[in-house]
């Protein structure tokens, strides 16, 4: 058994024991959304930094750490990007599922976004988020394709929803992402953000 798999199992065991404990953190440091009907239409995620920690670049940059879960609860991809104060970044959901750890393209995903301060040395890393660096101020929206009648679809926009962050969830996400980074042979590393904003359109 590789040390990474052993470490992952140990981390998940610890996470299970600690699942009911909450991480002391800003209430908006962990947010979630979803995307549906990905075989029918495109969805996008738009992210901005409200400057809550300050308006100086790069001192107040915030990492948007993204964790992508398939319908069967598997973490299939993770990635991170820095967002400067008042910056606007977009992530097409297709980029989140185009290089998954496991074969196949899901038609729906849950996306968790964890906000942390950008390291003064190094880079944003979704597999190594220090709970002490969790930060406020990220805001995000996603477009969702909904079935409104047989064969007909409509696109709506939803806010990411803040959620209490448990010790178990944090440990699970970061440990699984670290495993992907170490042993995934580059699979499971999603494409990062790009400047600007995007809506959604039918295929």
SS3 track for 133-200: HECCCEEEEEEEEEEEECCEEEEEEEECEECCCEHHHHHHHHHHHHHHHHHCCCCCECCCCEECCCCC
pLDDT value of residue 13: 52
* Phi, psi of 189, deg, nearest 5: -95, 105
Is the pLDDT score of 203 beyond 90?
Answer: no
The per-residue pLDDT for range 152-171, each reduced to its tens digit, is 889 999 999 999 999 999 99
Question: Which of 9-18, 33-42, 104-113, 156-165 bottoms out in mean pLDDT, i.e. has the lowest?
Answer: 9-18
Which pLDDT score is estimated for 196?
77
For residue 10, pLDDT over 70 is answered with: no
In DSSP terms, which residues pair with 85 in a beta bridge?
49
- Check residue 18 and give its pLDDT: 53
Which residue, among 20, 38, 22, 27, has the nearest Cα to 160 in the 3D structure?
Answer: 27
pLDDT over threshold 90, residue 90: yes
| pLDDT mean over 92-118 | 91
> pLDDT per residue over 46-68, tens digit each?
999 999 999 898 999 999 999 99
In angstroms, the CA 85 to CA 57 distance is 7
What is the sign, positive or negative, of the torsion defined by CA atoms of 3, 12, 135, 198? positive
Q: What is the pTM of this model?
A: 0.86
Q: Which domains does the chain have, with CATH numbers?
A: 3-195 (2.60.290.11)
């Amino acid at each position: 058994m590789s040390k990474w798999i052993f470490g992952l199992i140990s981390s998940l065991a610890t996470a299970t024991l600690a699942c009911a404990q909450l991480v002391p953190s800003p209430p908006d440091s962990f947010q979630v959304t979803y995307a549906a009907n990905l075989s029918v239409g495109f969805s996008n995620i738009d992210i901005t930094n409200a400057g809550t920690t300050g308006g100086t670049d790069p001192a107040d940059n915030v990492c948007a750490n993204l964790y992508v879960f398939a319908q069967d609860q598997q973490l299939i991809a993770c990635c991170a990007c820095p967002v400067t104060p008042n910056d606007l970044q977009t992530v097409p959901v297709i980029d989140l599922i185009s290089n998954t750890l496991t074969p196949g393209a899901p038609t729906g995903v849950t996306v968790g976004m964890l906000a942390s301060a950008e390291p003064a040395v190094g880079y944003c890393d979704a597999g190594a988020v220090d709970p002490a660096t969790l930060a406020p101020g990220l805001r995000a929206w996603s477009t969702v394709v909904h079935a409104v009648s047989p064969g007909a679809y409509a696109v709506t926009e939803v806010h990411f929803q803040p959620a209490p962050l448990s010790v178990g969830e944090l440990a699970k996400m970061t440990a699984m992402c670290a495993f992907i980074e170490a042993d995934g042979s580059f699979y499971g590393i999603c494409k990062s953000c790009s400047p600007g904003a995007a809506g959604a359109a039918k295929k």
